[in-house]
Amino acid sequence: MEALSPQTLFTGQQLIWLTECPSTNTEAQLLAGQNRATDGCCVITDKQTAGRGQRGNQWEAAPGENLTLSVVWRPTFLPPADQFLLSQAVALAVHDWLSALLGPAPALRVKWPNDIFYGSQKLGGILIENTLSGAKIQHSIVGIGLNINQQQFGVPTATSLGQLTGRAYPLAPLAGRLLESLERRYLQLRAGRVGELRAAYLQVLYRFEEEHAYEAAGRPLRGRIVGVDATGRLALAVGRQIQHFDLKEIRYL
């Protein structure tokens, strides 16, 4: 991949490009654990052979056609109890970046907690792995997989930027702009502007304030997503009650 040259203060200024690797998150974690990763270090690859997604799922990405990267940050300013704010900031950064490419797109949404959807199809996924040290987050590995030029998928619920626009994209410039977008939202978080982040997240949240079917504890239910609590649990209005769910406790139908 050609030089990315992001216009950032630190995110992506240390860039490690790998022709192939099992997982950029795993590589970034190793570097962070060995103190070889600066704050903002980015690991990027053309071919990820064992990418990981939420719930332990595998992330499918055709070699050389998509963006698969991980960023190492050291958000020691963020209490572990507030780590979902980092997830919101990253999801918003990806949404900002895609909005700049797609233009006004009401169908572009963040599906809780941080998947990127266009309509009912998945455009990208985010996996954040935090390492705690005492009462601080020692480092965070922010893994991002985005479907860019891939045209065929093993599942009908996936799409790509190229499928949506009919264009082919050079990956390096896109990666550079993505790193810039990530740093903007990260700096917003670091500056303590959490109210703005939370409000912006709800504005782009998939199914927000809409009545839909879900499954929880093996039982179907209908409800409206009305928010996300401070720990990242989904708040669903079911009848006159507000119920909260962790990631593995609810399924979208």
Interval 203-239: pLDDT, tens: 999 999 999 999 999 999 999 999 999 999 999 999 9
| pLDDT given for residue 49 in this prediction | 81
**Which amino acid is present at 107?**
A
Condensed to tens digits (0 to 9), the pLDDT of residues 25-43 reads: 999 999 999 999 999 999 9
Instruction: Taking residues 62-83, report their average pLDDT.
Output: 93
Report pLDDT for 62.
73
Complete DSSP assignment for 40-54 = T-EEEEEEESS-B-G
22, 24, 61, 68 from 53: Cα distances, Å: 13, 12, 12, 12
When pLDDT is averaged across residues 56-76 and rounded to a whole number, the result is: 82
Q: What angle do CA 19, 125, 192 make, to 5 degrees?
A: 105
Query: Could you tell me the sign of the dihedral formed by the alpha carbons of 145, 149, 153, 157, in that order?
Result: positive
What is the tens place of the pLDDT at every residue in 153-199?
Answer: 888 899 999 999 999 999 999 999 999 999 999 999 999 999 999 99
Mean per-residue pLDDT over the chain, rounded: 93
